[in-house]
A and B are shown apart, each in its own frame.
Chain A
Amino acid sequence: MKRLSYGIAGIAVLIIAGLLIYRSLNASLVYFILPNEYAQQPGEYQGRRLRLGGIVETDSVRFDNESLQLTFMVTDSLQRYPVHHRGSPPELFKENTGVVVEGSFNDGVFISDNLLVKHSEVYEPPPPGESVDVEALKDSLQ
Chain B
Amino acid sequence: MNQTMPSNPNRPRWLNALGLITLALFGVGAYLSLVVSPPDVNQGQLIRIMYAHVSVAWVCFLAVIASAVFGMLFLWRGRKIHDVLAVASAESALFFAGLTIIGGMTYSKPTLNTYWTWDAKLTLTALLFALLVGYFIVRGLLEDPQRRGRVSAVIGIIVLASLPFNYLAAEWFRTLHPAKSINLDGSGVQMDPTMLQVLLFNVGVAAFAFLYFLFERVRIGRIEIAREEALEAPSGSAEVVRV
Contact = CB atoms under 8 A, between A and B. Distances in A.
Contact of A125 (B38, B172, B176): B38
B44 A132 contact: yes
B165 A25 contact: yes
Nearest to A17: B161
Given A18-B161, A91-B111, A118-B112, A127 B41 contact: yes
A1 B38 CA distance: 58
A116 B42 contact: no
Contacts of B181: 121-123
Q: Is the interface of A mostly helix, strand, loop or mixed?
A: loop
B42 to A, nearest CB: 6
Interface in B179-200: 179-181, 190-192, 194-195
B172 A119 contact: no
Interface residues of B, number: 38
B131 interface: no
Interface stretch (A28-36, A41-49, A55-63, A67-75): A28-36
Contacts of B161: 14, 17-18
Contacts of A83: none
A129 interface: no
B41 A92 contact: no
B186 to A, nearest CB: 16
Contacts of A18: 161, 164-165
A123 B50 contact: yes
Contacts of A26: 172-173
Interface in B1-49: 38-45, 47
Contacts of B123: 29
A91 B192 contact: no
A111 interface: no
B106 interface: no
A54 to B, nearest CB: 11
A119 B178 contact: yes
B146 interface: no
A90 B195 contact: no
Contacts of B110: 91-92
A117 to B, nearest CB: 5
B191 A100 contact: no
A119 B195 contact: no
Given A31-B173, A121-B180, A126 B41 contact: yes
B120 interface: yes
A53 interface: yes
Contacts of A124: 40-41, 191-192, 195
B224 interface: no
Given A121-B181, A122-B181, A123-B50, A116 B112 contact: yes
A14 B159 CA distance: 11
B141 to A, nearest CB: 23
13 contacts: A14-B161, A18-B161, A29-B119, A92-B43, A92-B110, A92-B113, A93-B113, A119-B111, A120-B178, A120-B190, A121-B170, A123-B47, A125-B192
Interface of B: 38-45, 47, 50, 110-114, 117, 119-120, 123, 157, 161, 164-165, 170, 172-176, 178-181, 190-192, 194-195
